[in-house]
Chains A and B, each alone.
Chain A
């Protein structure tokens, strides 16, 4: 399946890949640490020195395989991982005057080659007779399904939207990773024999009871909910949007539907989504981008390197400020702001043609609360960390809906762990499970 190029792909390069010679040179710098700290810093425990050695010697296929064995989203993670605080942050070169190895870019280089050359490293295992349903086609479910297929289990993913990848495809700022590359990698992953049914909303189009009849186990990889919004005057103006909602529309949009970049935009929030959105707006061509945060810089939950990059890109930061109202008659003209604790500036208006709210996502999935036995804590599904198993033994969960919203690489790690948990659950001898399911005729 090849996806048509969307407008985002024509304006962002998604972090250009290294050339072969640059990759070889960078790979040759790797010291090949024995007990390599970069591996320990990777949630998916990729054998980083080994794949870098492969790049250095020209064993690119071996390098790509090493990555894929540990992390089936090698390209995506190379592009979107906050490597500064993971593998590259752990590189021993940080203790010297040399730059750490560009592990993320090397990983993307090898994984992109695997996609370009269509290297298939995996085949489905000998059929086990077991069937697993996975809800949501984000990185957690795809990583889980892939590992389950290698073990011989049949897998069906139900995805409410029309395309896979979840936030990786539709929520990551396009300057970091355009959706066409995400979808290409997903195609390669599902080629192992993962059955993905799009536009199926569990609980609406298909009942949980039906799932339980047709499958031996269920993995929940549904992510978090929609953007949180603000109940303020003017919040219903069309130019006031949730940041993820807007990014999704942007990434799926055409040149026609997106129009020209507005002159002035305000992003509200202090997390990585707020920074991503701000940088995205700057990269798109918005002249004035203001980031408004109710606390001080030290309280920003975004990564420091991302904050620095946003400043470098020309984003203006406003601290100890919160919105009071969105102004405009039918069309947004500005955001009325006031100082928060310690800021006695009073209230004033910042002119704006677009406001993006990046103040978090809703966490309650009402459709999942029907499932008996699953425990919830702070809006997230409680799981056993090693197996991903929920309070209901047939249900497993991973990714944002279980970890509260972390990186793609954490979702992949969750999915891998859950796959082993599911495999153990399915194959343990004392289970009387298979006779519980009936043949399911899915409605799509």
Chain B
């Protein structure tokens, strides 16, 4: 056992750890979920139940890089295509065998009567909670469900209210990222009485085009359609939406975070930005349930090292530091420094800065008053003119050698000052047009290339 306590609580739903399988193919059957629980998963959101559907073939497609497969994943699979009776019987078996796990049933129906019937049946088979699927962006939304609901705050609120009325167990609303702003549907769920939200569902996507057949991917016979995008590539979008809700002053519901989580570090980032549990799908579709061992072990060891004894010590730690741009310190300065003992002379930083950023990196033979004296062995190594460096860190990002370009903080001696503070100062001082401080600050803005 880990010396830290990984047990998890979200809206009253309890689990031995925060790693839950997201509602998807890995939670389609009892044999799968039972196997996942044997491996140690903390919870599972059952593959969405709804009225009968038929699927197409093929229905998955992926983006690969040469070094890594499935960095992005897209599917056009629908909700469960198995009989509801089978699902309810299997859920009952799972919840009876593993009452300690967060077994949550995902639902997607149309009328209030349908919702009522299936919420009651789900609770009857032992669901610890319900997840309302307002997120699926393909197939179901064309029938007025899934993301079609999630994109309409009024519908979100109404259906959530129905669900909460009949549930008697915690109700999570699964949100779609296919909106311009995640706040309105999340607040609608809150108004409807939801006990928590889970996000993100998949993002509308077209993975590619078969250039021989001129059909988008995946090719279903003679045509294709948009899919739902997920996998490691979507993590930044998901983190933003989770963080945006966590820091919103009016939003108070607990969050189950998901979107591109494959490692314990990804999970820790979601927890730090306010998620109380995380859900995982693509990484399991890629590598299987066995990844739970490294997820729990890695998170536990890291928490131990950082002295976080429970998840509550960690959850939301980064939220206060997730601000709007206006609150960032304009006086924070960093410069790039190339470490000559590590540089291999590929000059990628030089060309990136020259063509892609602010032209502050020079080759060794450049005529420049600040040019350093370089040894013969360093004749291929570029150097940074620190007075010209804008601190953008593009060079640091393109550098293939760990630690060869360091971003070094400069101590400017200037106090922390944000754009918001600067504007406030300008307003209060605008009455005195001869104020030398103001003129001085305007000059400062110009040198920063702002305004």
Contact call B380/A37, Cβ cutoff below 8 A:
yes
Q: How far is the CB of B355 from chain A (nearest CB, A)?
A: 10
B319 at the A/B interface (Cβ < 8 Å)? no
B373 at the A/B interface (Cβ < 8 Å)? no
Inter-chain contacts of B344 with A (CB < 8 A): 92-93, 95-96
A191 at the A/B interface (Cβ < 8 Å)? no
Q: How far is the CB of B97 from chain A (nearest CB, A)?
A: 43
A377 at the A/B interface (Cβ < 8 Å)? no
How many angstroms from the CA of A25 to the CA of B69 in the assembled complex? 11
Q: How far is the CB of A315 from chain B (nearest CB, A)?
A: 35
Q: How far is the CB of A352 from chain B (nearest CB, A)?
A: 48
How many angstroms from the CA of A33 to the CA of B363 in the assembled complex? 13
A92 touches which of B65, B67, B345, B363 (Cβ 8 Å): B345
Interface residues in B124-179 (C-beta closer than 8 Å to A): none
A60 at the A/B interface (Cβ < 8 Å)? no
Interface residues in B335-354 (C-beta closer than 8 Å to A): 344-348, 350-351
Contact call A56/B66, Cβ cutoff below 8 A:
yes
Q: How far is the CB of A99 from chain B (nearest CB, A)?
A: 14
B400 at the A/B interface (Cβ < 8 Å)? yes
A34 at the A/B interface (Cβ < 8 Å)? yes
A430 at the A/B interface (Cβ < 8 Å)? no
Q: How far is the CB of B352 from chain A (nearest CB, A)?
A: 9
A24 at the A/B interface (Cβ < 8 Å)? yes
Inter-chain contacts of A349 with B (CB < 8 A): none
Q: Closest chain B residue to A26 by CB distance?
A: B66
Interface residues in A11-70 (C-beta closer than 8 Å to B): 24-25, 27-29, 31-35, 37, 56
Interface residues in B348-381 (C-beta closer than 8 Å to A): 348, 350-351, 363, 380
How many angstroms from the CA of A372 to the CA of B158 in the assembled complex? 103
Task: Summarize B's interface: helix, strand, loop or mixed.
Answer: loop
How many angstroms from the CA of A93 to the CA of B346 in the assembled complex? 9
Contact call B347/A34, Cβ cutoff below 8 A:
yes
Inter-chain contacts of B346 with A (CB < 8 A): 31-34, 92
How many residues of chain B are within 8 Å of chain A by beta carbon? 14
How many angstroms from the CA of A113 to the CA of B400 in the assembled complex? 30
Inter-chain contacts of B67 with A (CB < 8 A): 25, 28-29
Inter-chain contacts of A56 with B (CB < 8 A): 66
Q: Closest chain A residue to B398 by CB distance?
A: A31
B209 at the A/B interface (Cβ < 8 Å)? no
Inter-chain contacts of B350 with A (CB < 8 A): 34
Contact call A34/B351, Cβ cutoff below 8 A:
yes
Contact call B348/A33, Cβ cutoff below 8 A:
yes
Contact call B351/A28, Cβ cutoff below 8 A:
no
Q: Closest chain B residue to A35 by CB distance?
A: B347
How many angstroms from the CA of A25 to the CA of B65 in the assembled complex? 9
Inter-chain contacts of A32 with B (CB < 8 A): 346, 348
Q: Closest chain B residue to A24 by CB distance?
A: B66
Q: Looking at chain A, what size class is its interface with the partner chain?
A: 10 to 19
Inter-chain contacts of A31 with B (CB < 8 A): 346, 348, 400
Residue among B65, B346, B347, B363 with most chain A CB within 10 A: B346
Interface residues in A94-138 (C-beta closer than 8 Å to B): 95-96
How many angstroms from the CA of A34 to the CA of B401 in the assembled complex? 16
Inter-chain contacts of A92 with B (CB < 8 A): 344-346
Interface residues in A160-197 (C-beta closer than 8 Å to B): none
How many angstroms from the CA of A243 to the CA of B132 in the assembled complex? 80
Inter-chain contacts of A24 with B (CB < 8 A): 66
Inter-chain contacts of A95 with B (CB < 8 A): 344-345
Contact call A34/B348, Cβ cutoff below 8 A:
yes
Q: How far is the CB of A295 from chain B (nearest CB, A)?
A: 32
Q: Closest chain B residue to A56 by CB distance?
A: B66
Write out, one digit per residue, whether chain B residues 386-415 have a CB within 8 A of any chain A CB (1) or not (0): 000000000000001100000000000000
Inter-chain contacts of A96 with B (CB < 8 A): 344, 401
How many angstroms from the CA of A19 to the CA of B400 in the assembled complex? 26
Q: Closest chain A residue to B354 by CB distance?
A: A34
How many angstroms from the CA of A57 to the CA of B401 in the assembled complex? 23
Inter-chain contacts of B66 with A (CB < 8 A): 24-25, 27-28, 56
Residue among A32, A34, A92, A96 with most chain B CB within 10 A: A34
Inter-chain contacts of B401 with A (CB < 8 A): 96
Inter-chain contacts of B380 with A (CB < 8 A): 35, 37
Q: How far is the CB of A163 from chain B (nearest CB, A)?
A: 40
Q: How far is the CB of A37 from chain B (nearest CB, A)?
A: 7
Q: How far is the CB of A267 from chain B (nearest CB, A)?
A: 39
Contact call B65/A33, Cβ cutoff below 8 A:
no
How many angstroms from the CA of A103 to the CA of B71 in the assembled complex? 27
Residue among A25, A56, A95 with most chain B CB within 10 A: A95
Inter-chain contacts of A28 with B (CB < 8 A): 65-67
Write out, one digit per residue, whether chain A residues 393-420 have a CB within 8 A of any chain B CB (1) or not (0): 0000000000000000000000000000
Given contacts A29-B67, A34-B350, A37-B345, 14 further A-B contacts (CB under 8 A): A24-B66, A25-B66, A28-B65, A28-B66, A32-B348, A34-B346, A34-B347, A34-B348, A34-B351, A35-B363, A37-B380, A92-B344, A92-B346, A96-B344
- 27 example contacts (A-B, Cβ-Cβ < 8 A) are as follows A24-B66, A25-B66, A25-B67, A27-B66, A28-B65, A31-B400, A32-B346, A32-B348, A33-B346, A33-B347, A34-B346, A34-B347, A34-B348, A34-B350, A34-B351, A35-B347, A35-B363, A35-B380, A37-B345, A37-B380, A92-B344, A92-B345, A92-B346, A93-B344, A95-B344, A95-B345, A96-B344
List the interface of chain A (C-beta within 8 A of B).
24-25, 27-29, 31-35, 37, 56, 92-93, 95-96
The 6 closest A-B pairs by CB, nearest first: A28-B66, A34-B347, A92-B344, A95-B344, A33-B346, A31-B346
